[in-house]
Structure 1
Amino acid sequence: MGPEVKAATILNTTFVRPAKFYLNGFSNIPNVKYFYCFLCFIYIMTVVGNSFLIAVIYLVKTLHTPKYMIVFSLALTDLCGSTALIPKVFDTFLFDRREIVYEACLSYMFFVWFFASVQSWTLVTMAYDRFLAICFPLRYHRIVTKPVIAGVMVLEWLVSLAVIGCMAGLIDRLSFCGSLEIQSFYCDHGPLYRLACNDRYLNYIMAFVVVFMVICIPLILIVLTYICICIALSRIASGVERWKALKTCTSHLILVAIFFLPLMGTNLAVLTSYIHPNARILNSTLTHTLPSLLNPIIYSLKTEEVLKSIRKLCKNIRLRNI
């Protein structure tokens, strides 16, 4: 019996719950410390950008609107998601602490996937906001109210909590009697449940449920929303008005592309062809971290409304200091 199995807690003759797992990501990558420096830069800028945006929306009362409630939720999700992932990556690989206890591994998996799910559905809510603004402009302010958006946000968080919690909870029924090396840079669900020795059919089904919930269904809803928007814009006689309405959607479309395309590309490539584990890990790392950095820059910090609010806030601070 090897040392890994000896370290496990044996509940009965067939069920083995390991004390620890071993994260095997970023192995044999040349000059990997430069990549860690890049990740550190991404994390610092993500924290600064999203914290600044959250502070501006909170402090400037003119931004206390349904639209910026959604932006606030996205910035908070980006901040929490990056904090759940990147510091632990540094601790694991930069300081070579690759062993992670069983309970911490499940928590790690839960928080990474939970915030990814909330981020995905927040992008759907943004698409819904654009759809109503363009297709039903006269009824927009009656439909999109603060209580409605607050209810939608709470529902997204609760549903994500239930589904991702169920996914993480189902790991607890698995027996790990063989290898305890997770071929990923964090406790990812797929690489983890495939290490199990007993029946993992429910986990396989749950993996599909989560992929559909986080990637497929939100993307389908966003595409349907923009089909409706395009149909509505085609009925506008003036090309200038059509372009002006479409321009309000470009930032959101960029966010959707940044979030969904790398996720879809990675998953399709894994299913249809062979990818070197290190290439997959590097791509997955950027897929989980870059959107959180770019979201506040693309969608909010460059918009005229937010820039005016920032200038107004800075002016008020200067006047208080005089």
Structure 2
Amino acid sequence: MAAENDTQVREFFFSSLPSHPAFLFVVFLAAYLAIVMGNLMIFLLVFMDSSLHTPMYFFLSHLSCLDICISTVVIPKLLINFLRQQNTISYKECLGQMFFLVGFAGCEPSLMAVMAYDRYAAICRPMHYSLLMSKRVCIQLASFTWIWGFLDSAIHAALASQLSFCGANQIPHIFCDVPPLLQIACSDTRVNELACHITSLFVGLGPLLFIIFSYVCILTSVLRIHSKGGRRKAFSTCASHLLVVFFCLGNAFLNYNKPSAGYSLEIDTLVSAMFLIVAPMLNPLIYSLRNKEVKGAFRKVVKKWTD
């Protein structure tokens, strides 16, 4: 086993730190604070305001939690490295970072699919919506997304723990993830690569196809609505979700489907920043700026605290 291999490394070095680490520290810190505060605001509003106790906002609160978790797995370590101008991480920390990153990232596509199903049920099956999206069903669907993501993560972590690195400890990335570890491993990685391809079909492509199918059905139903106001309301309800799907799954695709030669460190940093920062930071903005119910709940909570 790799753990018993005398050449098993105890510490990894990330590729050379990008230039201007002090500037990046300020940028990443500001972005991380914005992510935590924005998503925490959405989470607390859903929890505190009874008008937001609906399936759509229940799943939105889970998305906010995921966004915080994904960023927290990586950004604090990056901040430490930028501040100290070092680029090391222990073997166990690396596997732990990879496990939680893949787990949280794996939850998002299935959660997006569940949110698409919620919009499908609300628009295409309104008479049965309360039954299709009962409290029990919502809890089961939310639980499934978390279990599904971390089942995927457990598979990759278990396989990665068996890899040998033969002293190769220079990770061509700025954080630990499955593809960079496979790139520097000296043992056979065919099983790991096969697992990546198979799980990507179920964790990534499957939910994406379901989302597309759901919105084809939704679009068909919306076009049958004779009232312009009804069509506008239906499109507005779905627009926020589609924007979030575009940012989250698009950034995930860029991060996990790199060319075989990889990206340069600068491009890798940009892609990773989009994956870890842009989407999590934009999600609460998209929902709060486009959603009257969220803005109304925010005003009520602020008024309650200030009175």
Q: 1:25 touches 1:281 (CA, 8 Å); kept in 2?
A: no
Residue matched to 2:270: 282
> Bigger shift: 208-217 or 240-249?
208-217
Tell me, in whole angstroms, the C-alpha distance in 2 between the residues paired with 1:216 and 1:34: 37
Amino acid at match of 2:52: L
SS in 1 for 2:168: coil
Residue matched to 1:44: 33
Amino acid at match of 2:11: K
Shift of residue 301, structure 1, vs aligned partner: 5.5
Shift of residue 261, structure 1, vs aligned partner: 2.0
Amino acid at match of 2:51: T
Amino acid at match of 1:23: F
Tell me, in whole angstroms, the C-alpha distance in 1 between the residues paired with 2:187 and 2:301: 59
Residue matched to 1:11: 4
Q: 1:178 touches 1:196 (CA, 8 Å); kept in 2?
A: no
Q: How many residues align?
A: 306
| Percent identical residues | 30
Residue matched to 2:304: 316
Which of 199, 210, 221 aligns to 1:232? It is 221
Larger Rg: 1
* CA gap 1:288/1:133 in 2 versus in 1, 3 angstroms: same
Q: Which runs of 4 or more aligned residues in structure 1 lie more than 6 Å from their structure 2 counterparts after TM superposition?
A: none
Unaligned runs of 5+ in 1: 1-8
Shift of residue 269, structure 1, vs aligned partner: 5.2
> Bigger shift: 209-218 or 296-305?
209-218
Q: 2:3 touches 2:162 (CA, 8 Å); kept in 1?
A: no
Which of 14, 26, 30 aligns to 1:23? It is 14
Unaligned runs of 5+ in 2: none
Residue matched to 1:5: none
* CA gap 1:262/1:10 in 2 versus in 1, 3 angstroms: closer
1:96 aligns with 2:85: yes
Residue matched to 2:151: 162
Tell me, in whole angstroms, the C-alpha distance in 1 between the residues paired with 2:3 and 2:222: 63
Using the size of structure 1 for normalisation, the TM-score is 0.87
Shift of residue 80, structure 1, vs aligned partner: 1.4
Which of 89, 96, 105 aligns to 1:116? It is 105
Amino acid at match of 2:144: L
Residue matched to 1:3: none
Shift of residue 47, structure 1, vs aligned partner: 0.9
* CA gap 1:130/1:199 in 2 versus in 1, 3 angstroms: same
Using the size of structure 2 for normalisation, the TM-score is 0.91
Amino acid at match of 1:296: P
Shift of residue 25, structure 1, vs aligned partner: 5.1
Shift of residue 119, structure 1, vs aligned partner: 2.2
Q: 1:26 touches 1:281 (CA, 8 Å); kept in 2?
A: no
What is the CA RMSD across the aligned residues, in angstroms? 2.1
Listed as ranges, the matches of 1:217-256 within 5 Å are 217-256=206-245
* CA gap 1:239/1:64 in 2 versus in 1, 3 angstroms: closer
Q: 1:88-125: CA deviations, max 9, x gaps?
A: 11112331332211111000111111111122222211
Q: 2:15 touches 2:174 (CA, 8 Å); kept in 1?
A: yes
Q: 1:7-50: CA deviations, max 9, x gaps?
A: xx9835xx6321111111534x3x34323322111101111111
